[in-house]
A and B are shown apart, each in its own frame.
Chain A
């Protein structure tokens, strides 16, 4: 009898502990889901919710304050996100706080970010629609960065071809007799050469960086977080684009110059010497060479700016160090 009693007690403990654990598990999940405890609803509207789903977290200045309850389609260009927000922030969150959709980390879930704005406003209330900010999709940004980079690499190749052309141009070498032009050409060539090397290096670096970011690896992958990342990527893309414009101009200038000189000489319009005397032509050539110098300098400036971009700073520093070691 006593034996059976103890067996039943053990069985009771066994079943109750299982039940208790289940309840605990559901409670813990429920707490995260804001299913228990008091809360209120807020809404925000977006053109594109980027795959946001019910259950995704809502953060206010980096603190989890709720979850997405529902994503509704209002019309073909407007989506509404309904959020369940913890009552605790009811007298903190204001009506003018800005809602954006970002990614938790680089590869994480989508989250809703609510950012406070410094200007005065009333506190947000039940069912308010908060203003939203069109957010930048880091994925798209990374793709742009990578594409821009590829374009740059192509331009750099063009530049190299042009330099080759410059080197093999007969007319040009004849011109070397002229002292002023010769010095000018020397300078321009050196500038262009270093620019093109620069491009090649940087474009290779960017390629590794974007790859690393996508993999979520390395210092960058670990340190950079959503908003910051999109901003820096945006800057980088702009810099590269500007550099691209400069270099394109540079390349066409060079092309033109060479073409000019070659046609003049090949058409046999007087002796070379006579040609040189024609100050009009000399000025023209000198001017284009000046252009070339300016263009490549502009490019270098852009590249320097890129180097100081937060995204790449650490990376370039590391690169420098490893170069010094070698």
Chain B
């Protein structure tokens, strides 16, 4: 009995989230356009996340390189480190780790912000004030996460690769030029484009879940905390699911 009801709750949640996403898809291109708010959100969501994402990206590239080195040396392919790290970062680790950090930072803040706006009736106040709160709050944020995450991922990839370059140079000397040539040599469009395209979906997922959880927050401060928490959890899981789908689709299309 309890089992079925929790399954029902889960299904209801999935259904409502899909409905929310559908509402976004049918609304975002219709006027009125909240361009100012969109740009403001881009600034907060994109630009303001750069230091955190840059730092984690840098450490990731550095650590990945240092962790890989012993094994690569064992196999006598130390010179292949830039190629392998490059592929790993561009194809998988860069997008996914950045998206997860992004979910942690932005998903929770959107969930909490919209949640507290809901609880303190700010969303109702917007509606009464003649502004469509869905467009003003939700559309602008989902669009901002969708378009900012890919930018963040590219910057993070670059910083990660720079970290990897430093990592290579701890024990060895590789010129800056040679490192990049090796990285680019090993990459193909099939590595970059699917990885780049999936980041849009990651961004969309983080924005959608954060907004849905916040927008449908329960009354009370506990509800706000729950919204923030569950938006991080759900969007992180969703990122992995999208990642799985992405790899399967690129496989099917023969881009691997």
Q: Do A and B come from one complex?
A: yes
A92 within 8 A of B: no
B75 within 8 A of A: yes
Of chain A, the residue at the smallest CB distance from B189 is: A29
Q: Which of B50, B77, B150, B184 contacts A29 (CB 8 A)?
A: B184
Of residues 190 to 217 in A, which have CB atoms within 8 Å of B's CB atoms?
Answer: 215-217
Q: Which of B47, B150, B154, B196 contacts A11 (CB 8 A)?
A: B47
A88 within 8 A of B: no
Q: Write out, one digit per residue, whether chain A residues 127-163 have a CB within 8 A of any chain B CB (1) or not (0).
A: 0000000000000000000000000000000000000
Establish whether residues B151 and A15, one from each chain, have CB atoms under 8 Å apart when the complex forms.
yes
Establish whether residues B43 and A8, one from each chain, have CB atoms under 8 Å apart when the complex forms.
yes
Q: How far is the CA of A25 from the CA of B154 in the complex (A)?
A: 9
Q: Write out, one digit per residue, whether chain A residues 24-46 have a CB within 8 A of any chain B CB (1) or not (0).
A: 01101111110000000000000
B42 within 8 A of A: yes
Establish whether residues B76 and A14, one from each chain, have CB atoms under 8 Å apart when the complex forms.
no
Establish whether residues A26 and B154, one from each chain, have CB atoms under 8 Å apart when the complex forms.
no
Taking CB atoms, residues of chain B closer than 8 Å to A19 are 151
Taking CB atoms, residues of chain A closer than 8 Å to B39 are 8, 11
Interface residue count for A (Cβ, 8 Å)? 27
Q: Which of A18, A31, A33, A217 contacts B150 (CB 8 A)?
A: A18
Taking CB atoms, residues of chain B closer than 8 Å to A225 are none
Taking CB atoms, residues of chain A closer than 8 Å to B50 are 14
Q: How far is the CA of A32 from the CA of B192 in the complex (A)?
A: 14
Of chain A, the residue at the smallest CB distance from B191 is: A29
- Least CB distance, B192 to chain A, in whole angstroms: 6
Establish whether residues A55 and B188, one from each chain, have CB atoms under 8 Å apart when the complex forms.
yes
Q: Which of B42, B75, B180, B188 contacts A216 (CB 8 A)?
A: B75
Establish whether residues A215 and B151, one from each chain, have CB atoms under 8 Å apart when the complex forms.
no
28 pairs, CB–CB < 8 Å, chain A vs chain B: A7-B47, A8-B43, A10-B43, A11-B42, A11-B43, A11-B47, A14-B46, A15-B46, A15-B151, A17-B155, A18-B150, A18-B152, A18-B155, A22-B196, A25-B192, A26-B189, A26-B192, A28-B184, A29-B192, A30-B189, A31-B184, A32-B185, A33-B188, A33-B189, A55-B188, A215-B76, A216-B75, A221-B76
Interface residues of B (CB under 8 A from A): 39-40, 42-43, 46-47, 50, 75-77, 150-152, 154-155, 158, 180, 184-185, 187-189, 192, 196
